[in-house]
Structure formats: structure tokens, C-alpha cells
Structure 1
Amino acid sequence: MNALRHEFDLSNATILPPRDRRAPNSRDQANLAAQWNAVHEAAAAIGVLAQLGRPEENEAVTGLPARAAANGGYEYEMVLRGVDDLAAVMQPGLRALLSLSASGQDTTSAALTLWREFHASRDAIIALAPEN
């Protein structure tokens, strides 16, 4: 049996790109803030369907777009992608819940599951740009 031989030189490899502190432009910041707010509006609707109410929003939550923009570079990009991924999960989930609710079905259990996923994802995104 022949084993494969690899001669990779990883001495110059980096896992993350170098830290770039340039701030994103104001249009990018506004887009992130708008998407972050939209995700929370969707979460509020899910909270109603789960019979829980609106999610709690403290400074760690509301200040995320500004903190991410202040960090800039790959940290900002990671927050941006995280919010985009969260929106991609929330949109079809909320659509399905609204469809079930419109047909008279109980959405409490499914909404509670999506609510928990939202909070876990939101906490992970907030951890990318922690408060100082």
C-alpha cells in the first residue's frame, strides 16, 4: 500500500488575515445596523408566536453595529457575515411560523425552538465585538 506524501510548507500560513483597523464606510455601517434591527423585529414576531414577548435589548445588543464598525477589519466582516447568516435562518423560519399560524395551527413549540436558536446565534455574534 502506498502512502501519499505531502510536502506542504505552512511556515508562512496564517489562520486569520492580518488585523486591519480601517473602519467600514458609512453606507456599510448603515446596512449592518438596518439588518441588525430587522433581525430583532423578526425575533419580536417570533417571540409573540412563542408566547414570550419581545427579546431583551441591552447596550450589548443595541451597540453591536457601532462596536463592530469601530473594530473594523476582519472582526467587522465576521459580524457582518454572522448577522447575514442569522437573517438567512430567521426569514424562512418566520415565514413558516406565520403560515402555520394563518392556518390556525399552534406555533408555540416551533417558535420557541427558533427563539432559542436566535438567542444562541445573537450571543455568538455579540461575542465577536464585545464591550470594552
Structure 2
Amino acid sequence: MKWSALHDAAQAIASIAGAPCPPLTQAIRAFPAQVRDAGEDRRLQAEQEIADLSAIMEAGLSALLAALARGSHPQAAARALWSEFVRTRDGLLHLALSPQGTARRMA
């Protein structure tokens, strides 16, 4: 459920950024099941990464919406948040598929 909500937020951020938001691939849609089946250590790591990313996305989207409400144009900030989301999401996908189970950490 959090995975889906993250992608809904990412779609809103991409829209603010003026960036294309491609449709979800099969790998992205299958991530929750893959990480669940990847073992407890990877599942726990993924849950923590998702919680961290959720916190960043929630705060970032709130700030972007507040800026828009004040009449600002936060496209640059939205592009940065979008890029961070994509990098972290791709690291999580790697976690589910990698035999070593190592995700790329957020900067």
C-alpha cells in the first residue's frame, strides 16, 4: 500500500516539475511481492527504505504544494525531489532482485 502511495505522490511531484512520469513497469508493480519473497533481511531493509522515502516525499510534496499556494514556481525543487525518488526507487528494485540484497542509499 505504501509503495502505491509513493508512486501517487511521485506522479504529483513529476507534474509540478514538468517532468514526464512514465507508466509503472511490471518490475515496479511486482516489487512488493518480490521483496516479500526475497527473505526477511531484505524485506526489513526495504520497509525501512520505503519509510525513509515516504517521509522525504511527504515533506517535500507538502512544501511544494505550499509554495504553489503562495504563487511560487517550485519546478527546480520538484525536479530534485523527482530525481531523488527515481534513484531511491531504482535502488529498491535492485534490492529485490540482487543476490547480495544491497540497495543504493539515498544521499
Same fold (TM over 0.5): yes
Q: Which runs of 4+ in 1 moved over 4 A?
A: none
Counterpart of 1:99? 66
Q: Indicate the larger mover: 92-101 or 52-61.
A: 52-61
Q: Is the 8 A contact 1:60 1:131 kept in 2?
A: no
Name the amino acid aligned to 2:59: P
Q: Is the 8 A contact 1:45 1:54 kept in 2?
A: no
Output aligned runs, 1:8-47, within 5 Å: 34-47=1-14
Counterpart of 2:52? 85
Counterpart of 1:114? 81
Name the amino acid aligned to 1:76: R
| Structure 2 length-normalised TM | 0.86
Q: Is the 8 A contact 1:75 1:128 kept in 2?
A: yes
Name the amino acid aligned to 2:83: R
Which runs of 5 or more residues in structure 1 are unaligned?
Answer: 1-33
| Structure 1 length-normalised TM | 0.70
1:56 to partner: Cα distance = 3.9
Bigger CA radius of gyration: 1
Counterpart of 2:16? 49
SS at match of 1:63: helix
Is 1:126 the counterpart of 2:100 in the alignment? no
Q: Is the 8 A contact 1:43 1:55 kept in 2?
A: no
Q: Is the 8 A contact 1:60 1:130 kept in 2?
A: no
SS at match of 2:97: coil
Q: Is the 8 A contact 1:61 1:126 kept in 2?
A: yes
Q: Is the 8 A contact 1:43 1:118 kept in 2?
A: yes
Q: How far apart, in 2, do the equivalents of 1:55 and 1:78 lie?
A: 26
Higher helix share: 2
Q: May I ask how many residue pairs the two structures share in their alignment?
A: 99
Q: Is the 8 A contact 1:75 1:129 kept in 2?
A: yes
